[in-house]
Amino acid sequence: MKITPIIGLEVHVELKTKSKMFCACSAKHFHIPPNSHTCPVCLGLPGALPVPNKTACLWCLKLGLALNCKVNKHSFFERKNYFYPDLPKGYQISQYQKPFTVNGFIKINGQKIRINRVHMEEDTAKSQHIDGSTLLDFNRSGVPLVEIVSEPDIHSVDLVKSYFQKIQQIVRYLGISNADVEKGEMRCEPTVNLKIEQDAKTFYTPLVEIKNIASFTGVLQALEYEIKRQAEEFKKSRQVKNNANKTTRGWNTDKQSTFLQRQKEGSADYRYFPEPDIPPIEWSDKEIKELKLSLPELPDQKIERYKKDFGLSDYNAIRLCEDLKFASVYEKAIGENPSQSFAKFVANLFLGPLNKRLNETEKQLDPNKIHHNFFSDLFDSVQKSAISSTVAKQLIVESYQTGESPLIIAKQKNLLQVSDTVEIEKLVRQVIKDNPKAVEDYKNNPNTIGFLIGQVMQESCGTANPQLVKQTLEKLLN
Ligand SMILES: [Zn+2]
């Protein structure tokens, strides 16, 4: 029996515009008194008229373009009718027949995941369940929300994670949302069923949508659980129940299991119809072209440029580009038109010792503490063997912390490598004199030279140039 999960994702991203989607209220809804950013429009009072936020619409289009979608030049908003306490007007303004953008894709490790649509809608109010009552905060009601709907092209939970992170990365590169999952600025709802191949027959288990999962970790756990559950169900009955309807299941964090909520409503149940209070929206070719040109360098493009121009490995380029800010600070450190060897040297310092230090202190990289000349001085010194690459790693962390030039620290701490041949020869002679047994060993087996090198390094407090030590030892011993 071969089992393949078929997963599609609906990802919601809150845009960080100043005002809400259809009114002038501030879109800020964290750490402010409940229900302080509201007006008749976002409270859903009868007769209030919505006016679309142009910036939000343009940002939605930008995201669609960044996800390789086509723009619907003629588009309109629709009412999605359903009742819920956090939606007092009884419908959400969304897009259905003519979303802003359609038919895109993203690539993850060479695998293409098709994107059905990227459309614009509004967020609902926030319900809080406290001591048996439900409190509603309308500050979030009407905040611009973009929905990205994938095709069911995802076949593993790992790929769900990569897909979600990739969307988050692109959204952040575009600067249209902080996409902070903890704050609910980015959320996702998966649909999943299984393709089961057995005895030359193919079965599909009924489609399940998992809703209202509080965290992204919860989404991944719910998917793992649901894949197992559907496979077990199939094994029990050896057949698929004749139940073509999609069902909605919830996720119980305490029990770590999903539970049946309801038979899923189809789009007909929402009775979509064009929003009568907002005229249709037309995008001209010129506007679409300008938007395309205004797109910043996106993660994949940046990774390619780092590989091509700086000679970085796939792995290092991907890691540097994970976070736009980190990548920008790296570019500041290498300066303009760096040589490939310098760019690689700096990349290793960023991803090695600096990153380690940031993880230890749980801090973000501070661009003000990164100076191009720190890196170029270190690079030159390593090239000239005045500093070993091990010491360079230590120095860059100290320079980052203190703001002092690495070369000054090297001098103060006596970390400059001794490449003075007279000085080294003096040390080598002393070590040969003090270690007659090791010298004897060397004559029998030249591979034991490591011990003598170690002794000289120790005598020099680690500052001798090891290559020069080896050469001098060989010269004097032979
Ligand atoms: Zn309002």
Mark the ranges of the chain whose per-residue pLDDT is less than 50: none
Q: Report how far ligand 1's centroid is from the alpha carbon of 39 (Å).
A: 4
Q: Report how far ligand 1's centroid is from the alpha carbon of 117 (Å).
A: 27
CATH number for the domain spanning 434: value is: 1.10.10.410
**What SS3 class is residue 159?**
helix
Question: Is 346 found in the same domain as 245?
Answer: no
Q: Give pLDDT, residue 260.
A: 87
Q: Give pLDDT, residue 178.
A: 95
The pLDDT tens digits of the residues spanning 320-354 come to 999 999 999 999 999 999 999 999 999 999 999 99
Q: Give pLDDT, residue 244.
A: 58
Nearest CA among 146, 196, 200, 197 for reference residue 176: 146
Last residue of a domain, one of 412, 432, 453: 412
Q: Report how far ligand 1's centroid is from the alpha carbon of 73 (Å).
A: 28
Question: Is 319 found in the same domain as 286?
Answer: no
Cβ neighbors of 408 (< 8 A, separation 6 or more) are none
Q: Is the dihedral of CA 17, 19, 23, 28 positive or negative?
A: positive
Question: Is 266 found in the same domain as 351?
Answer: no
Question: Is 114 found in the same domain as 189?
Answer: yes
pLDDT > 70 in the chain, percent: 98
Question: Is 20 found in the same domain as 162?
Answer: yes
**Domain span including residue 425:** 421-477
Count of structural domains, the chain = 3
* C-alpha–C-alpha distance, residues 133 and 148, integer Å: 33
Q: Report how far ligand 1's centroid is from the alpha carbon of 43 (Å).
A: 7
Last residue of a domain, one of 385, 412, 439: 412
Question: Is 426 found in the same domain as 408?
Answer: no
Cβ neighbors of 440 (< 8 A, separation 6 or more) are none
The pLDDT tens digits of the residues spanning 238-281 come to 766 555 568 888 888 888 898 888 776 667 788 999 999 999 99
Question: Is 335 found in the same domain as 282?
Answer: no
Q: Report how far ligand 1's centroid is from the alpha carbon of 169 (Å).
A: 30
Question: Is 161 found in the same domain as 126?
Answer: yes
Beta bridge partners of 108: 111
Q: Is the dihedral of CA 66, 67, 71, 76 positive or negative?
A: negative
Question: Is 391 found in the same domain as 280?
Answer: no
Q: Report how far ligand 1's centroid is from the alpha carbon of 109 (Å).
A: 42
Question: Is 140 found in the same domain as 183?
Answer: yes
Q: Give pLDDT, residue 345.
A: 96
Question: Is 79 found in the same domain as 166?
Answer: yes
Question: Is 453 found in the same domain as 364?
Answer: no
Last residue of a domain, one of 264, 291, 318: 291
Q: How far is CA 253 from the centre of its chain?
A: 25
